[in-house]
């Protein structure tokens, strides 16, 4: 009798922790920094559990009509992982903005030969892209972007309650169409270097026609490299402006994803 009496209470207690933990775990699984392969799985799991315990007093009560080990309960679990991963995945767009910008600059300057292993994707990436990624990550943490996203994650439990349903169509569109913003940000960051090196290459083309005996390949590579480094140094002055535009658009689209407004959050 005692076990039968405690069984519903135990199941409800497990549900109140398990489903928020799934959402928080999905968030950290796709978050810009914590999704990297260099972060141990145990550290990520312990951090997810810690955040979930801190969230519990502010999370609305879980529906008692959904059983954990039923079909509806399994759908609810998958839904929570998808919601958390969707919110965390938005930060990947911010990082990829500057990775694409670095790749564009590297290809134009000839620095594409120098590459490092990207700790996030595990693939080789140009060294300028890695430089922009590290700079973007440091600025993101400096402006407390990670704390803002954790707050948005907590707010998502009110705007998207724990239930079998997932995102609404406007929320899914926010994830898809933010890819256009990612390419716009990358182009605006690398635009100065692209235009400058286009002029340099055009100049070497004219020189080749005027003096065919010049070895443009050996001389042009060195000059393009020097000009590219100089333009990259100057274009860093516009980094914060591009970062501000990108992160403001990111926050706005994340709030649209959650079906709420960003006013009063930041």
Summarised one tens digit per residue, pLDDT across range 3-17 is 555 555 565 666 678
User: Tokens at residue 231, please?
Assistant: 């333009």
pLDDT average, residue stretch 34-57: 82
Task: For residues 127-147, give the mean pLDDT.
Answer: 83
Q: Are 224 and 200 in contact (CB under 8 A)?
A: yes
Instruction: Say what the pLDDT of residue 106 is.
Output: 76
What confidence score (pLDDT) does residue 239 get? Answer: 79
pTM of the model: 0.75
Q: What is the DSSP letter of 108?
A: H
What are 152-174's pLDDT values in tens digits?
888 888 888 777 665 555 566 66
CA 17 – CA 40 distance, rounded (Å): 22
What share of the chain has pLDDT > 90, as a percent? 0
DSSP single-letter state for residue 57: G
- pLDDT-derived band at 1 (thresholds 50, 70, 90) equals very low
Give residue 100's pLDDT band: very low, low, confident or very high (50, 70, 90): confident
């Amino acid at each position: 009798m005692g076990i039968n009496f405690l069984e519903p209470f135990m199941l409800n207690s497990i549900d109140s922790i398990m489903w928020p933990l799934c959402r928080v775990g999905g968030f950290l699984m796709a978050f810009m920094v914590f999704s990297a392969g260099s972060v141990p799985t145990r550290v990520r799991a312990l951090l997810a559990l810690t955040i979930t315990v801190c969230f519990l007093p502010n999370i609305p009560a879980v529906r008692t009509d959904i059983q954990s080990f039923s079909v509806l309960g399994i759908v609810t679990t998958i839904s929570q992982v998808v919601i958390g991963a969707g919110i965390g995945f938005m930060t990947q767009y911010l990082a990829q903005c500057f990775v694409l910008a670095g790749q564009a600059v590297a290809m134009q300057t000839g620095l594409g030969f120098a590459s490092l292993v990207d700790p996030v994707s595990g693939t080789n990436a140009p060294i300028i892209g890695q430089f922009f990624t590290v700079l973007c990550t440091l600025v993101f943490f400096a402006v407390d972007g990670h704390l803002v996203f954790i707050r948005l994650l907590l707010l998502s439990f009110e705007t998207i309650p724990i239930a079998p349903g997932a995102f609404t169509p406007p929320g899914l569109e926010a994830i898809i169409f933010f890819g256009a913003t990612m390419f716009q940000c990358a182009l605006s960051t690398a635009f100065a270097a692209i235009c400058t090196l286009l002029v340099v290459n055009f100049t070497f083309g004219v020189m080749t026609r005027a003096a065919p005996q010049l070895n443009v390949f050996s001389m042009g590579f060195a000059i393009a490299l020097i000009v590219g480094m100089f333009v990259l140094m100057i274009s860093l002055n516009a980094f914060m402006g591009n970062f501000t535009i990108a992160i403001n658009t990111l926050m706005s689209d994340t709030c649209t994803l959650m079906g709420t407004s960003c006013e009063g959050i930041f």
